[in-house]
A = this chain, B = another copy of it.
Amino acid sequence: MTEEANVTRGPEQLPGDHAADEVDLRRVGIDPDFWYPVARSARLPRGKVLAASFAGRRIALYRGAEGTAYALEDRCAHRQVPLSLGVVEGETLRCCYHAWAYRGNGRVSRIPYLPKGADRPPRGVRSYPVRERYGLVFVFPGDPALAEAAPLPVLPEAESPRHRTMMFERTVRCHYSFLHENLLDMNHQFLHRGVLGRIRPELLGYETGPASVEARYLFVPSGGRKDRGAGLLSGEGRGGADTPDVVTIRTEYPYQTLRDVPESSGSAAFSLWAAYVPEDPDQRVSRVFGLLSIAKPALPGALHLAWPLIRRFTERVFAQDRMAVEAEQRAWDEQGGDWNQEVFPLILDVRKVLRANGAPLPNPPRSHACPQADTCADARGTGVQGDTRHP
């Protein structure tokens, strides 16, 4: 499979990998009906406010005095100044400008100067369901009625005492689909030759489901310089020789995981979970959150010593991937569309999965109408929410 094949002719095909009647994958929005991480819990102590975002929706995250995290539309109902510039008071958030106060459910609780007989003020702003786990603050940006039933990712290793977990968070200027394709197509190891040494990834097999693609590769080292962190991460330092690893990568919409099992040991040396969260309305910028869980070696403290080297190694690999996927996005921007001509079948599959599970982007991207007119609590006088009486 991984033999060096010369280029041969195949059946004729149109330029680009999407049929004329299919939408360009890079214009497919991510499905908002999932839990998405938007910040690390550690960055949000009690009484603090943070600005976050999901696909162009600005979100003010704050943590009340009781320790609960809330997520509000980051825009005061009064004059649209960001609530993330505001001040936490107890469980409420006050706008910095005219001191309007909001509850965690987005309702205005107090306007300090409201004259008697004034027009009815707006009810409030949209709020988002919030959960916290694995050190991350997750919000549910889609239909709130679906939030309760939607599961958070299940990551036993991120909570197991036999593993230690490293957290990543950074912005990559590309559509989330480039990131899924990058990780699933392990033929891109050429990009990492200076860090990982020369590797011949052999595809062992793959399966595609309605919302998933899983590929298994055999990684056979074949020489070249290698970053020390690479060996430490895959357990070499713990007695393993430079042996092959089985690497399993899985897109399980909308998340992605990677699992590395050295052939010599039989159990996972490490596993990675990643979420790619669109930041801007066009979804051409992604915030990447990653959890890298590493099995603790027998020797206590060894992993602690190796930690900075492993972090440096992963940062180097990630920087190379970022360069490549951002170059892909720039090419897309210049061309105004997707010219990819893919030859690797499982990548064609993941493109289909991401297209089928995605959601339409708002069109045009920056509408002059309120994009949340139907779900937004700040429309006055609609009377549709009978339970919204102010105390």
* Residue from B80, B94, B119 within 8 A of A335 (CB atoms): B80
Tell me whether B187 and A98 are in contact (CB under 8 A): yes
When each residue 91-123 of chain A gets 1 if its CB lies under 8 Å from chain B and 0 otherwise, what string results? 000101111000000001111111111111110
Chain A interface size, under 10 / 10 to 19 / 20 to 34 / 35 or more:
35 or more
Number of identical protomers: 3
CB of B7 within 8 A of CB of A108, answer: yes
Q: Are A120 and B12 in contact (CB under 8 A)?
A: yes
* B98 & A190 in contact (Cβ 8 Å cutoff): yes
Q: Which residues of B contact A379 (CB under 8 A)?
A: 15
Give the residue among A113, A336, A340, A378 with the most B Cβ atoms within 10 A. Answer: A113
Q: Are B378 and A1 in contact (CB under 8 A)?
A: no
A1-60 at interface with B (beta carbon < 8 Å) = 1-2, 4-15
Query: Chain B contacts of A368 at CB under 8 A?
Result: 335-337
Which residues of A are interface residues toward B (Cβ below 8 A)?
1-2, 4-15, 75, 77-82, 85, 94, 96-99, 108-122, 185, 187-188, 190-191, 201, 203, 323-324, 327-328, 331-332, 334-337, 339-345, 366-368, 370, 378-381, 383, 389-391
8 A-B pairs with least C-beta separation: A10-B120, A12-B381, A80-B331, A99-B190, A336-B368, A5-B114, A7-B390, A113-B187
Question: Can you pick out 16 interface pairs between chain A and chain B where the beta carbons lie within 8 Å of each other?
Answer: A5-B116, A6-B391, A7-B108, A9-B120, A12-B120, A77-B341, A78-B343, A79-B328, A80-B332, A82-B327, A98-B191, A111-B343, A112-B190, A113-B187, A118-B343, A118-B345
